Structure 1
Amino acid sequence: MSKLLWQPSEVQIKSSNMFRFMTLINERHGTSFDSYDGLYQWSVDHIPEFWKEMWEFAAIKASKPYDQVIDDANRMPGARWFDGARLNFAENLLRYRDDRLALVFRGEDQVRRTLTYAQLYDEVARVAMALKDAGVVAGDRVAGFVPNMPESIIAMLAASSLGAAWSSCSPDFGIKGVLDRFGQIRPKVLFTADGYFFKGKPLDSLARIADIISQIPSVERLVVVSYTHQKPDISAISNAVLYDDFKSAQDGLEIDFAQLPFDHPLYVMYSSGTTGLPKCMVQSAGGILIHHLKELMLHTDLKREDTIFYFTTCGWMMWNWLVSSLATGATLVLYDGNPFHPSPKAMWQMAQDEKISVFGTSAGYLAALQAAGVRPKEEFDLSPLRAVLSTGSPLSIESFEFVYDAVKSDLQLASIAGGTDLNGCFALGNPMGPVYAGELQCRGLAMKVFAFDDDGQPVVGQEGELVCAAPFPSMPIYFWNDPEGKKYHSAYFDVYPGIWRHGDYIVVSEHGGVVMHGRSDATLNPGGVRIGTAELYRQVEQLEEVEDSVVVGQKWENDVRVILFVKLAPGFDLTDDLKNKIRKTIRVHASPRHVPAKIIPVPDIPYTLNMKKVELAVKKVIHNQEVKNKDALRNPEALDYFAGIAELQEA
């Protein structure tokens, strides 16, 4: 049984949006749920009824009501949601126009900028007018090669107000990485900043952007935001205009929000692209809106009085998720730069200063914070903080315990997991439920999630494939350049027809929680026994001698053997004693099956641009297979270390 770390009080439970929603369901449907379990089961058994109630609870703004919630709740892919409805995504996010703070921007330059909801509306109106004058119409694409700053949100909202689809990359992407993405979708307008800050240094973007737009002839206008310089010189870049000169100079503009079908394209998101060109996943305005509001309002308990922060870039789906918080009227804190600059305490100083109530980050950040010996609760006033969210990779039991020990004892720690594909979560937080060490609190409402065993049967308490057996609104409506849907089908539905296979390896616990065990395609199979990589990382990376690691399976003598690569912490060498310590730690705390056949030091561990370990790429390199798209990696040179390692040819 997992260790109980936190239980909400009766007051906390009854003041939550989730409790209010559950009470509403009881009143309207004659049910008598008193906990999440009953509500969850009802939601997956009554999917059309659930989403109908969610539409009303979230007060979705639509100029025309829907005719039916879903045409066929048993068809996946291809189910049509909320046919007949006409709405606009940006209109729903800009429903407030008052003097409450909408955005707070804190970059590494330490200059604090704010926008109220009224000011945000005005800025979006000016940029929307400029985009319209530039010829942008519904169905066009507008892209951003941008830091996580207010202008990025303004540009997205302006584009979506017209019915254009938005797509973004963060400025740390390489030229080929950007071309692989934007080159496919052919945007008409591209927003960028002149540069960005990282670890205290201003880095130029204009040289790369000039190269990029020279290779994307669809771009008719490049809009440059001044960030690292007051007035950057853009004279050498064709079709370029400064943001302040581009936006309309008119005052008091009203936005003419294009009223479009529920499934009108809103975002183009991308797969990591480590096995070839990134897949371009097109997601709908209505689907993203209602799915995000379910997760923000119910699972995160976000309210108007909250201040929410998520450490993210514009190249990660958590940016899109965070931006939808505007529809609740909350205050969003944006940060761009290194979270450890100028010190490991930087984000917690900001949390205190901005009175952040919901703090979102990654599992890697929390592990690094613990390794740095930072104990925020001892130095900062975090009294407003009521929730910490973590995603990106499985959160270890030690990191769960660290948050309650070193950050705050009375908060909801919601480890959340889903994917770019759905721009949301399969499993996440429950403000009415307990937090157990190592477990995501619950499966998401109306997400019919199971762990499937090798026979395709649901199992509880044992490891299996994460699947979703019913459609949900935020599924991609299609993949770009995939007219017959073949890429879409093979991505999720080629193993279990009509059932979404996500590619994660999980356990559904007896009390309804979820434990993540890593990517199923990176699962190790020594002796035919399936082992999730997260189980090894949890043991290895709590050792002070190990800074980072990656584990893969190597084909060996008609079987698979476990190979562990370690990046050592400064001042340590991989001695026989340390190898024995690592093996003993794994044997005692995981199992003898988890013990690696080889432990090999490497100077660095490769990551995608979204900070996920690339186990599959490492596996390809050690088997002398080509890694097709190294530009999808944050540090592609790290892969070179894994080629031709003599020790891998030895017994």
Structure 2
Amino acid sequence: MVENVITDLSRSVMEEPVEPSWVPTPQQIENARIVAFARWLIDHGVASFQDVTDFHEIQDWAASHPDAFWEAVARYFEVRFHREPDAVWDGAPMPDTGWFPGGTLNFAEHLLRGPDPDRDAVVMVLEDGATTSISHGELRRRVLALASRLRALGVETGDRVVAYLPNSIEGVIAFMATAWIGATWSQAGLDLTARAAADRLSQLEPKVLICGGGYFFKGVVHDQRHEVRLLRELLPTVRHTITVSTAGLSLPVDGDFSMTWDEAVDGVGNVDVVPVAFDHPLWVLFTSGTTGKPKGIVHGHGGALLEQFASPGFHLDLRSDDIFFWYTSPNWMMWNAQVCGLLHGATIVLYDGNPIEPSAARLWQIAADLGVTVFGTSPGYLRASEQAGCEPGRDLDLSQMRMIGVTGSILPSAANRWIRDHVSESVQVGSTSGGTDIVGIFVSSNPILPVYDGEISGPALGVALEVWGDDGRPVPPGVSGEMVITQPMPSMPIGFWNDPDGSTYRDTYFAEFPGVWRHGDSITLTDRGTIIIHGRSDATLNRNGIRLGSAEIYEAVESLPEVLDSLVVGVEGADGGYWMPLFVVVTGDRDAVDEAEIDRRVRDRLREHTSPRHVPDEVIVAPILPHTKTGKKLEVPVKRLLAGQRTGEVISAAAVDDPAALDWIVNFASERAASAGQDDVEPTDDYRTWRVYSEQRISRILSAALDTFAEKGFHGTSIRQLAERCGLSVPGLYHHYKSKEDILFDLMMVVVDELIERSRFAVAEAGDDVAGQFDLLVESLLRFHMYRQKGAMLSANELRNLSADHRARYVARKEELNRMLDVVISDGVAAGLFQTPYPIDASRAITSLCLGVASWYHSDGELPEDVFLARYLAVARSIVQPEPDRRA
């Protein structure tokens, strides 16, 4: 059994002595804030330690006494409670733990406690080289002015204010002003399309939208003003819009846009800070959307505050004299963490642009110019710097830099070595891992522990981390398993948006091990207390019963000079087989690449640096590979695509950094499926003959439910009948579904998913022809309802049989179809093709028309299909087109 979970790398960790690559000096240890905190704990009678410089001793106490630790963090960093809490916590187990009940505070108030009003609070650098800054004093003035303006616009405590902005000073001010009055903040980067931004922000039903005009990237100013107008249409609850001039582009104040940014922050604000409960919603961050519609994760004022005092305060040793620069974007939780440098009085540096424009040395140059002391980046940027031959340590003055923080993906050993050889031997490389889930860290380096290449120094202070096997028991050091958190943390989410009963939140983190947070990372805890992260658990390679970490493969393969990027997945076959392909992107002209030589080089490298088990079944040279917007590898979505799932069920193009890369993977999966004699993974364009419920796309349980619900109705069908129909026992069926209603809900989602996917396919076929998009989208709607039989009928007739929660989720999904029509009609109005003062109302009218008229269509009736379609397509056109332009 042990052999099944021990990787070869883990064995080498246990058997071979490893020397640290960086060791703190006695002076660095003595001056570290962690040590000062340990002394404070002793002086205040909170804890006692034999050695205040022993991180493991301090951490053991903090993880074992979470209530005492987090209370001490609040006191040490002088958190201001407007009303003192009744207790530290209520002692309830996760996920129901309540922290600091009865206490009130405000997150933004602490951000504005800058030590020197004349010191720079934020420095903004644009890709074109322009640099601006704002002092702590001016930051406070603008925050209070905007807070007063928001209150005057009717924003109350608990309302939502959202932004569609690039990385900018205005975004920082807007967030702080929103939090100051107790409203809830969320934002989408201006590089997202309006539709992708609406997928996130529309869920919040915001009252105010703050939006920019454009952003810099790759030497080009991207004009997003059309996208802004479209997003405004897609956010019907927005009452006021504030426009910001970004990248030199601005929007006029008109019927849709209430005021300019300068007008919004003019004057002096007079609104008092609003004290809110510890768990009052501060911001909503969204998942990447790589496995479905982005989910909103909600964090509270108090939890986020304590986490952002502890994690950068102790692990980055961040202080008021630091210049803190972490390359990030508004789509990533590191934007929030970067802003929180203000909690420590540090000057934070923002950058809007391509990190390798005009060269890969761009971020290093900014760090040198501004005297950055703590620099945050990703393994991808370090890799790009290496491949470009950058010599930051030789060519630039980086003498002020004491730490390079790295997160976003697994940091390979080679990156540490490159930093030592080409940046600095004395700078600490601080590898860290946490997530959007807590807007913080679970494991990290710290200033008083040594750094080992390819490893993370240990759990973050106060994190009760363990490594468990599938049986829910801790595994010994050197054995890989699930990373779990056994004690609650105040920064854990207060919930997911639109998840009133908390079921989605519980299923996400606590379904596997009740009462214990399962993060979804496969890790190894070494005998010296360091952490090796192997990758996401659901992407773990399981070859012949032996679990392999993808990180070891990436480190070995991407150390080859000819390999730019790589992606490995393990795909289970229907026949019980297992296929492990490795995709690689190579330097130079792909058409001129000797793929046989690349295959040999990759296999040899893996045998040499890992083990024969890590050698893939196939090495595939790809032109480009998709990533999330924040640069993470898409192992799980690619695995599912190769297993035959449809694109819409797996990932949205809006969630990836390059849609063309996703297209290549989809085409590869389709060709592979076709060569194996499987159905195409994409919908066919033959509307008359399409089959929603193919064996590839629907389980035998749903297939049986499709027939029995159609024959007997939902109430007339018993669980036993369903079980018999699909060849399972009743207990076997209950193993897959908790109730008959859950089966109905899944079946209805299959129906509406097919409608949405077919409609997207139709719109894509029309290209940039908006009128053609409209015609094909309406025709798709009509045809779907014309042919709705069996399960398709359920979408209309059985909605009343769903619970309120299921009904809301189904309706929310179906709303995506309405938004597609919203977009097409809004595009047509903007282009002058359509004429309607109310595009959204017109969209709803046409959707209702398609449902209504198609419901009585019969293929054997008197009205032929083509006549039927032409007649009602003309009616739909008449709703949006002016009289002279109507087509017959």
Q: Same fold (TM over 0.5)?
A: yes
Which residue in the other structure is 2:56 paired with?
Answer: 37
Question: In 2 relative to 1, CA 30–619 (structure 1 residues): closer, same or farther, beyond 3 Å?
Answer: closer
1:147–1:171: 8 Å Cα contact kept in structure 2?
A: yes
Scaled by the length of structure 2, the TM-score of the pair is 0.71
* Cα offsets for 1:258-302 (capped at 9, x unmatched): 011111100101112122211111100110010111001111100
Conservation of the 8 A alpha-carbon contact between 2:213 and 2:251: no
Q: Report what 1:274 is aligned to.
A: 290
Aligned mates of 2:662, 2:42 — CA distance in 1: 55
Aligned counterpart, 1:562? 580
Please name the residue that 1:339 is paired with: 355
Work out the CA distance in 2 between the residues paired with 1:393 and 1:590. Answer: 20
Q: Which residue of 2 is the match for residue 290 of structure 1?
A: 306
Note the C-alpha offset of 1:188. Answer: 0.8
Work out which of the residue numbers 546, 550, 553 in structure 2 matches 1:536. 553
Please name the residue that 2:87 is paired with. 68
2:644–2:673 CA contact under 8 A, matched in 1: no
Q: Distance in 2 between matches of 1:448 and 1:60?
A: 23
Q: 1:92 aligns with which of 110, 114, 130?
A: 110
- Taking the aligned partners of 1:625 and 1:395, their CA distance within structure 2 comes to 31
Please say if residues 178 and 185 of structure 2, whose CA atoms lie closer than 8 Å, have aligned partners that are also in contact. yes
Q: Which of residues 127, 137, 144 is equivalent to 2:163? A: 144
1:408 to 424, 435, 439: 424
CA distance in 1, matches of 2:370, 2:248: 26
5+ unaligned residues in a row in structure 1: which ranges? none
1:494-513 deviation line (CA, Å, top 9, x unaligned): 10111111111111121111
| Correspondence for 1:250 | 267
TM-score by length of 1: 0.97
What SS does the corresponding residue of 2:541 show, helix, strand or coil? Answer: coil
Report the RMSD for the aligned CA atoms in angstroms: 1.6
Give deviations 1:393-439, integer Å, cap 9, x for gaps.
00000001111221111122111101101111110121011000011
Larger Rg: 2
Alignment of 1:77-156 (within 5 A): 77-96=95-114, 98-156=117-175
**Deviation for aligned residue 1:466:** 1.1
Write the letter of the residue equivalent to 1:181: R
Q: Which runs of 5+ in 2 are unaligned?
A: 1-16, 677-888
Q: Between 602-611 and 453-462, report the one with greater CA deviation.
A: 453-462
Tell me how far apart the structure 2 counterparts of residues 608 and 202 of structure 1 sit (CA, whole Å): 22
Change (3 A) 1:624 1:60: same
Select which of 187, 196, 203 maps to 1:177: 196
Change beyond 3 A, Cα 1:178–1:288: same
Amino acid at match of 1:498: G
AA in 1 matched with 2:59: Y
- Give yes or no for contact 2:106–2:180 (8 Å, CA) kept in 1: yes
- Which of 653, 656, 662 matches 1:633? 656
Residue 392 of structure 1 contacts residue 417 of structure 1 at CA under 8 Å; is this kept in 2? yes
Paired residue type of 1:167: S
Show the counterpart of 1:483.
Answer: 500
Letter of the 2:48 counterpart: G
Partner of 1:605: 625
For residues 503 and 76 of structure 1, the distance between their equivalents in structure 2, rounded to whole angstroms, comes to 17
> 1:156-171 maps to which residues of 2 (within 5 A)?
156-171=175-190
After the TM superposition, which segments of 4 or more aligned residues of structure 1 sit over 6 Å from their partners?
none
- Determine the structure 2 residue equivalent to 1:226: 245
Work out the CA distance in 1 between the residues paired with 2:139 and 2:154: 23
Q: Give the distance between the partners of 2:674 and 2:609, measured in 1 at CA.
A: 26
Q: Which residue of 1 aligns with 2:69?
A: 50
Aligned equivalent of 1:264: 280
2:230 alignment counterpart: 211
Contact 1:25 1:31 in 2 (8 A): no
What's 2:610 paired with? 590
- In the alignment, the residues of structure 1 paired with residue 292 and residue 281 of structure 2 have an alpha-carbon distance, to the nearest angstrom, of 24
| 3-state DSSP of counterpart to 1:81 | coil
- Structure 2 partner of 1:644: 670
**Structure 1 residue 236: deviation in Å?**
6.0
Match of 1:394 in 2: 410
Counterpart-to-counterpart distance in 2, 1:222 and 1:600 = 48
Which structure's residues are more often helix, by fraction? 2
User: Structure 1's 134 and 294: CA in aligned 2 closer, same or farther, altered over 3 A?
Assistant: same
Separation (CA, whole Å) in 2 of partners of 1:194 and 1:328 = 32
Instruction: Go from structure 1 to structure 2 and tell me whether the alpha carbon gap of 1:640 and 1:328 turns closer, same or farther (over 3 Å shift).
Output: same
Amino acid aligned to 2:282: L
Conserved in 2, the CA contact under 8 Å of 1:520 and 1:532?
no
Residues 574 and 565 of structure 1: CA distance in aligned 2, closer, same or farther (over 3 Å): farther
- Does 1:23 pair with 2:46? no
Aligned residues between the structures: 647
> 2-side partners of 1:86 and 1:310: how far apart?
31
1:198 match: 217
- Cα distance in structure 2, aligned partners of 1:462 and 1:402: 29
* Distance in structure 1 (CA, Å) of the matches to 2:627 and 2:361: 24
- Alignment match, 1:469: 486
Please give the secondary structure, in 1, of the residue aligned with 2:522: strand
Deviation at 1:31, TM superposition (A): 2.6
- Judged with a 3 Å threshold, the aligned counterparts in structure 2 of structure 1 residues 331 and 430 are, in CA distance, closer, same or farther, namely same
Residue number among 385, 388, 393 corresponding to 1:369 in the alignment:
385
1:535: how far off?
A: 1.3
Query: CA separation in 1, counterparts of 2:460 and 2:83?
Result: 28
What percent of counterpart residues are identical?
37
Measure the CA separation in 2 of the matches of 1:445 and 1:634.
34
**Structure 1 CA distance for aligned equivalents of residues 633 and 68 of structure 2:** 39
